[in-house]
Structure 1
Amino acid sequence: MSDAITKSGGCQCGRIRYTADTSEADAYHCHCKMCQKATGGFAATFVFLPVAAVQWEHEPDWYASSPIAKRPFCSNCGSPLGFRFEDHDKMDLTFGSFDDPSDFRPVIHAGAESMHEAWLDTSHLPRQRSDETASIANRWKAAGMEVPE
């Protein structure tokens, strides 16, 4: 049995928080149209793990996204937090909802029928930091704050 690797995460506003044992977790991209619509992205990036490995500090809101699955989210800020088939003992948590997801590596592209190939390799595009973008940095400064990471 592998040693527990506990990670924390939650929604943008902080109302929904969780801890998860990620020692049996796999990360992946799902490109299906339902996940694109649910997250607003070209794909949903998930961490797949046992339901029993997730402990919610505050139970998320859930919506039935189809007759076979439901998705946790925060009704206060709208953050999507995952996906779960009704009849499965495993679930997904959204990659971006983890406080530090940096050590996860994707192992598969699911929902490949809806994949947008042009969005997969963007390494050739220029990179711009938020704190170096005047239109963003000035707004945060006017609010009396620093640009968040």
Structure 2
Amino acid sequence: MLTGGCHCGAVRYEAGGEPFERALCHCELCRKTTGAPAVAWFTVREADLTMSGEPVRYASSDHAERTFCGRCGTQISFRDAAYADRIDITTASLDDPEAAPPVEQIWVRSRPSWMASAHTLPDDLERRPLKA
């Protein structure tokens, strides 16, 4: 069972079954709806997902809907009308994001050029405190 939810805890979910897709998406819609350069998703059957709380629904295109927490803004899911029996869940919203890591990248033609070399950026392991 995969469990997760939003940042503030108002929306929670449990996803049963084994995820059958796990991808890092670079499409423009994912980037714009999250403000992130890419979004990691895992896919489960709609029937295997239980969600509590009241996620807000947003039609991000004429065929797709996303849900997010109305309080803290965390995006939780993506549903495409062409695949009504399945739902994509944001991997970073998992309690343990290591439980369903991406195994492929999709929409790479939309990827910002600087993302191709992001793995070469130096790590700041000290987590410097912010200056007042």
Q: TM-score, normalised by structure 2?
A: 0.87
Task: Report matched runs for 1:3-42 at 5 Å.
Answer: 6-42=1-37
Which ranges of structure 1 fall in alignment gaps of 5 or more residues? 1-5, 140-149
Matched, 1:51 2:46: yes
Matched, 1:96 2:96: no
Matched, 1:108 2:104: yes
Taking every aligned residue pair, what percent have the same amino acid on both sides? 33
The alignment of Structure 1 onto Structure 2 pairs a total of residues equal to 131
2-side partners of 1:22 and 1:40: how far apart? Answer: 29
The 10-residue stretch of structure 1 (118-127 or 99-108) with the greater mean CA deviation from structure 2: 118-127
Q: TM-score, normalised by structure 1?
A: 0.78
For residues 15-48 of structure 1, the C-alpha deviation after alignment (integer angstroms, 9 at most, x for no partner) is 0001111413321011111111011111121111
- Larger relative contact order (C-alpha < 8 A, sep ≥ 6)? 2
Write out the 4+ residue segments of structure 1 that deviate beyond 4 Å after TM superposition. Answer: none
Matched, 1:126 2:126: no
